[in-house]
Every structure is written in structure tokens, then in C-alpha cells.
């Protein structure tokens, strides 16, 4: 598999990354190198091996269902760019 200019632009858009036109060939080369590495991994026989979901050989600890957090709205909103009447304000996201 090989990524072209269009793929790089799409990946950047999905990740909301702004990239320079001039850098695209460079990114494409790097990403293709990564894919080549993955291709080498794919060559290994993984029959009967449980896919690893996490590098730690441990399982999820659970938390009892109790409310432990109190209201810190003021502190959180002090670092927000814009708030009004308790809500965070963002540029309009609906057409």
C-alpha cells in the first residue's frame, strides 16, 4: 500500500492538522515508510494469537458507582476562551 498526496491531505484534515503544500511529499514518504514497517510485521504468522489490546498484561480496575466530583465550573471556565451563562461558547457549528 502506498499513500499519495490526496491521502496525506485527507489524513491531515481528519486530524485537523494544517500542513504546508511543500511538505506533503516529505510526509508521504515518512508515512509510507511506517506502512512498510507494518507490512513487515504483517508477514509474521499470528494464527492463534490473541490480538493485544494493551501492552500491559493487566485488566481494567473498576470504580464503585459513587459521585466523587464537586462543581468546579468557575475554575474550568476561567481558562476557557469564551463562556456565557454557564456554557462554553464556540463558533457556530450548524448550517
Residues of this chain that bind another protein (CB under 8 A) = 10, 13-14, 16, 53-54, 56, 58-69, 71-73, 76-77, 82, 84-95
Q: For residue 1, which of 46, 45, 33, 23 has the smallest C-alpha distance?
A: 33
Report angle CA 25, 28, 32 to the nearest 5 degrees: 140
CB nearer another protein, residue 22 or residue 47 = 47
CB nearer another protein, residue 2 or residue 59 = 59
Q: How far is the CB of 4 from another protein (least distance, A)?
A: 16
What residues form DSSP beta bridges with 83?
88
Amino acid at each position: 500500500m502506498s499513500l499519495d498526496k490526496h491521502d496525506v491531505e485527507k489524513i491531515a484534515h481528519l486530524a485537523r492538522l494544517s500542513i504546508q503544500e511543500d511538505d506533503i511529499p516529505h510526509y508521504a514518504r515518512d508515512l509510507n515508510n511506517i506502512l512498510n514497517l507494518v507490512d513487515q510485521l504483517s508477514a509474521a504468522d499470528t494464527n492463534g494469537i490473541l490480538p493485544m489490546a494493551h501492552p500491559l498484561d493487566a485488566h481494567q480496575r473498576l470504580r464503585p458507582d459513587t459521585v466523587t466530583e464537586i462543581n468546579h465550573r468557575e475554575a474550568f471556565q476561567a481558562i476557557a476562551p469564551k463562556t456565557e451563562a454557564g456554557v462554553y461558547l464556540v463558533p457556530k457549528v450548524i448550517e
